[in-house]
Structure 1
Amino acid sequence: MILLNNSQKLLALYKSLARSIPESLKVYGSVYHINHGNPFNLEVLVDSWPEYRMVIIRPQKQEMTDDMDLYTNVYRIFSKEPQKSQEILKNCEIINWKQILQIQGFQGSLGEGIRVAAFSKSVKVEHSRAILFITEDILNLNASNKSKFGSWAETGHPDVEFESETPDFKYAQLDVSYSGLVNDRWRRGKNERSLRYIKRCIEALPTACVLGPEGIPVSWVTMDPSCELGMAYSMERYRKKGKMRQTMVQFKKYLRQNNIPFYLSVLEFNEDSRRSVKQNGFFEAACEWHQWTCYPQLVPF
């Protein structure tokens, strides 16, 4: 595959991927952050250029030093011909099958190629899926929108005036000092690797929270390196009081103002969360969120 590291080619790819949303959204969001400072040191591989059939986003080699780090060893894939993906995926120079890793994408038809490639490397695969939620803006994305290179932080942190029924609550950027709080309440967290990942997300990417009367976050949401919103949480005593909705309303406004794509996923059985995100202006996409977690034979699972 071809490493795409020219800024003009990456911008051309970004525009091209917009035409395949929502299926390409996981890769599209990753390319957005790569084009805006690349804070997670990701790289882009295509099977050919300028015409391409497959795009793979992966961390640069120096990032993947921990064979057990599921939060870092993540590959994000979009293919125009997902049924023909297995030969590319078998290539050890593209995917390091000796590590525990995750492959993410919004095309369930990638699954067969992933399973065949993994089986050829004696790797166990666990598949999980969720409902993908997007907004109307995402479907209507115009790739000619302003997209200057540089860090998103150059536009400033979210500082929208927060309108609340009480002055005791304040909308703010989530501070990295609260990484432990987020880690303790994240379903996929509660370990040292997740804590490092959360710190990095908070430091490098847009986040939002509502601070309570004590100046401590009572609700929050973060963004990952592919522009997916996640880790959303409200402290128990503030649930069903509109704090998460207030957080999301202001955060979405900020992201739209700065042309930052966003979306989220919810497990199918989580009825409360599905109802909540719909109330926040999201709707179910035509495709689903998919993740394949891969375990090498020598790694206990």
Structure 2
Amino acid sequence: TMLILTCPAQLQRLEGALRRSLPLALPVHGAVMNINRGNPGEFEVVKKGGSGEGIGVLGSRCPPPPLTALSPGLQEEVAKVSQAIADTKGVELEVSEYYTYLHPDPSTMPELDPSVRVGSLSPSHVDLLNETWPYGGNSRSRRYLAELLRCFPNLCLQDGAGQPLSWCLTDHFGTGAHGYTLPAHRRRGHMQAVMVLAARRAQARGFLSFGHTATGNRPMQRLQEELGHQRLPGLCRFVLHNPGLGRAGP
């Protein structure tokens, strides 16, 4: 049987148990923290089994994102099994591998130039995000990004006219996500400033500062290492559902 956990005391105990299982439980821990702080993503926690120890599993009542993250530390066999099941059902999957980086103490990160113009993205920026996100470009990804803008913290650096130059979002799992700098404004330290600000704000909210970086994105890996992030062992695998269908959509 699957039991939905709704009791605040149970959810607080689950958060504590997951914290003791870090860093393996990073994404689930972040999601439970969000649930215990107003549940902006409308997640549910279900427990497998009746009495005794169960397994915390997360489900969302909102429209699902266009991709699923398989947590760092999960065996490679999980991705293989997912692919095998998809093949039998005629579902197209695309698996991408990412490193997970965690910063142990954002308070030690470098100070920023006080003249940096910091703001927030608004719902009006969703089309810009959808155009620049590697998994974007379709209506499903647009709905997902709009939900992140509506429900979770984000920040951006702005030009003199208040337009975003570089930004980072936060997802349902407390992950720093969708970091991007407009091509015309790169190599000016904007992403470093965004990462420092995002990490400090996450720490101020009681969240850990972590994110996923593509295995081939060496510049971003170097930047995170220079800022003191630690790369966790293993890989995080993102599974894109029906990638051809999504990219062909409006």
TM-score of the pair, normalised by structure 1: 0.69
Q: Judging changes above 3 Å, is the alpha-carbon distance between structure 1 residues 122 and 234 closer, same or farther for their aligned structure 2 residues?
A: closer
SS, match of residue 259 in structure 1: coil
Is structure 2 residue 60 aligned with structure 1 residue 22? no
Q: Which residue of structure 1 aligns with residue 71 of structure 2? A: 105
TM-superposition CA deviations, 1:77-108 (whole Å, max 9, x none): xxxxxxxxxxxxxxxxxxxxxxxxx3532212
Contact 2:43 2:58 in 1 (8 A): yes
Q: Which residue of structure 2 aligns with residue 210 of structure 1? A: 157
Same amino acid, percent of matched pairs: 23
Q: Judging changes above 3 Å, is the alpha-carbon distance between structure 1 residues 110 and 246 closer, same or farther for their aligned structure 2 residues?
A: same
Q: Judging changes above 3 Å, is the alpha-carbon distance between structure 1 residues 277 and 15 closer, same or farther for their aligned structure 2 residues?
A: same
Give the deviation of 1:137 after TM superposition: 4.2
Give the deviation of 1:237 after TM superposition: 2.2
**Runs of at least 5 residues in structure 1 that lack an aligned partner in the other structure:** 75-101, 139-161
1:51 counterpart letter in structure 2: E
- What is the distance in 2 between the residues matched to 1:114 and 1:284? 25
TM-superposition CA deviations, 1:264-293 (whole Å, max 9, x none): 111111112211222232121023212344
Q: 2:176 aligns with which of 211, 214, 229?
A: 229
Q: Which residue of structure 2 aligns with residue 190 of structure 1? A: 137
Q: 1:51 aligns with which of 50, 53, 78?
A: 53
Give the deviation of 1:133 after TM superposition: 0.8
1:47 counterpart letter in structure 2: K
- 1:255-270 equivalences under 5 Å are 255-270=202-217
Count of matched residue positions in the alignment of Structure 1 and Structure 2 = 236
Q: Judging changes above 3 Å, is the alpha-carbon distance between structure 1 residues 280 and 120 closer, same or farther for their aligned structure 2 residues?
A: same
- 1:54-73 equivalences under 5 Å are 54-60=55-61, 63-64=62-63, 70-71=65-66
Q: Which residue of structure 2 aligns with residue 143 of structure 1? A: none
SS, match of residue 263 in structure 1: strand
- 1:143-158 equivalences under 5 Å are none
1:264 counterpart letter in structure 2: G
Q: 1:130 aligns with which of 66, 86, 98?
A: 98
2:136 counterpart letter in structure 1: G
Worse-superposed segment, 25-34 or 113-122 = 113-122
- What is the distance in 1 between the residues matched to 2:56 and 2:174? 17
Give the deviation of 1:231 after TM superposition: 1.0
Q: CA RMSD in A?
A: 2.7
Q: 1:284 aligns with which of 216, 231, 235?
A: 231
Q: Judging changes above 3 Å, is the alpha-carbon distance between structure 1 residues 184 and 114 closer, same or farther for their aligned structure 2 residues?
A: closer
